[in-house]
Amino acid sequence: VKYCCVDCQKAHRKQHKRACKKRVAELKDEQLYSRGHERPEGDFCPICTLAIPLPVVRHSGIMVCCMKSICDGCSAAAGRRGMSRHCPYCRTPMTCNKADQLAMVQARAAKRDPAAIHFLGLTYFHGEMGIQKDIRKAVEITEEAAELGSVEALSHIGYWYTEGVGVEVDEAKGMEFSRKAAMQGNAGSRHFLGMYEFEKCNYDLALRHWMISAKLGHELSVEAIKNLFVKGLATKKQYTEALRGYQDAVEEMKSHDRDEAKAFMDYRK
């Protein structure tokens, strides 16, 4: 609603207040479901430029020297070329010394690198690399990383606040972080939003979220849609669309180097 002047707004706003609130909610939903259909930059290997399979942490390694996530395929290829002792991306010599690794992360965090700050927050959360576990500090640092633009930090902090992990439950705050992460392409947060709506019996909204995350390559989202289909809460067409979208995403993430790396790791098991 547009008003001709302030006096007009004061006089008539009460008549339109409910309609305005409804429209604001509709606009938020439009943004929520229209954004985040592509993975964020941090989900792509900087060497082969392909999206890293989900979950990223299981199919890549983060280099503490440059804070780049290198996919298993490129790491394996670098090893075959005799570069296993150097970062495949920035060529910095690798070290197994935890103190030296932490110093590299802290140096980048001091320069306001969101990825480094987020990594440092998780280090405090898990009590790793010689750092004493401190969840309260982990939350503070992760929030800082989220403010600086780390999508992964948004995802983590959203889950922590919603579920009360290390902090008091603040569902509204947690869901706001999760929505921001989802709108930037974080498949995990998008799936989480679907679970949130599913638990509230908002099956149509859950389906909308899972359709997006499934097409980003999130396997659990496909399974969730399949479950809706079996229960008669989703159509065969919707399930087929989600499955094909997921398969297309998986296919786009394949490479010869990744296949070789997977075969080697499966052999070692």
Instruction: Report d(CA 67, CA 60) in Å as an integer.
Output: 12
Per-residue pLDDT of the chain (269 residues; tens, 9 = 90+): 565 666 766 666 676 666 656 655 667 888 999 999 999 999 999 999 999 999 999 999 999 999 999 999 999 999 999 999 999 999 999 999 999 999 999 999 999 999 999 999 999 999 999 999 999 999 999 999 999 999 999 999 999 999 999 899 999 999 999 999 999 999 999 999 999 999 999 999 999 999 999 999 999 999 999 999 999 999 999 999 999 999 999 999 999 999 999 998 888 87
Return the pLDDT at 142: 97
Return the pLDDT at 13: 66
- Number of residues assigned to the chain: 269
Beta bridge partners of 86: 93
Return the pLDDT at 181: 98
Q: Long-range contacts made by residues 128-132, C-beta under 8 angstroms, separation at least 24?
A: 129/98, 129/99, 129/101, 129/102, 129/105, 130/98, 130/99, 130/102, 131/102
Look at the alpha carbons of 205, 207, 213, 216 in this order and tell me if their dihedral is positive or negative. Answer: negative
State the DSSP H helix or E strand holding residue 24, giving kind and residue range, or none if neither. Answer: helix 6-34
